[in-house]
Amino acid sequence: MYRMPAEYQPHRATLMIWPVRPGSWGKDPSAAQAAFVRVFEAIARSENLYLLVDPAHWKQAKAATAHIRRVRLLPIESDDAWARDVGPTFVQNERGGIKGISWQFNAWGGTVDGLYADWQKDDAVAKLFCQAVGLPWEDAAPFVLEGGSIHTDGEGTVLVTESCLLSAGRNPSMTRAEIEAELCRRLGAEKVLWLPRGIYNDETNEHVDNVCAFVGPAEVVLAWTDREDDPQYPLSMADYAYLQSVTDAKGRPLTIHKLPIPDHPILCSEADCEAYSFEPGEDTREPGERLAASYVNFYFTNDAVLVPQFGGENADSDARACRILQQVCPGRRVIGLPARDILQGGGNIHCITQQIPL
């Protein structure tokens, strides 16, 4: 039987993609690329890194990563750089063998509310990556799912949000019970926990990896705010009440650690908006639009926790998030990484990474 391991269990490698899409990273993506390189460096301290690069940007990516010894570039094209969502979800059997699952990808909603009009390259990434590195894979199509919409404890429990998995652009012909059964079958899970909501204004229909994550068996962190006038407040309150009312697959109640969102909302400025170059059919941004900033979008490596840092007026909340995660994850180094330029694309460190279990 195959089961999806927890992210905090040992990795053999991480998968990422070189960012170039102008509608996510701007006409000049150099700032985002520099932020990605910092993530590469942190990951490569304790595990190997696969980096997918399109042929047109091969030399650029090769030069930017030449100093990183544990990186291997692969010539695989994609529509954007969200490796969590378009890369394979890996499951493992009792003998340690792994295989990738290729979910059907439709740009977070297809023709209903997808974020761009053409996603064929992204939809092919999981299969092409597994073939390139010699790993078996299975095709889960036509079931639509993204890696950021699931989180597991590796012991039979999967976290999702209702707002995402029940959205009209994913699997509208399936009931909630049918979606749950498919998740359990593919991931080797016994129980799905359905959080009501995610992070306010998260354009993925509120992926779970931006609002709640397992940090250990029966232990989660939840994005939080105490400010009742913040639009995130009712969303986090609904999730907290739900998590208090349920148990995991082994019947254990959950320990819930509150991880406050940035003290100051991060808004898209006029300059930010002018820097993008959107294609026809691509979702756009407006000045003043609130970005879905959350410290829950961290990533476990073999020896560390990589935590988004937004800087400026959020320096204090950046530091607070690192302190909380250091208390919650005492066996790992907590590394804060500049992530404002990653957030500009719509996600963060967890969204651009995908673990491959050992």
Q: Where in the sequence numbering do the catalytic residues fall? A: 351
Alpha-carbon distance of 317 to 264, in angstroms, equals 9
User: How many other C-beta atoms lie within 10 A of the C-beta of residue 253?
Assistant: 12
Q: H/E element holding 273?
A: helix 270-275
- Please name which of 230, 252, 309, 281 lies closest in space to residue 114, comparing C-alpha atoms: 281
Report residue 57 CA to chain centroid gap. Answer: 24
Which position has the token pair 């959350």?
A: 294
249: nearest Cα among 219, 218, 209: 218
Residues with Cβ within 8 Å of residue 275, at least 6 apart in sequence: 26, 27, 28
Half-sphere exposure of 205 (CA within 13 A, CB side): 24
Structure tokens at 65: 């990563």
> How many whole angstroms separate alpha carbon 5 and alpha carbon 151?
10
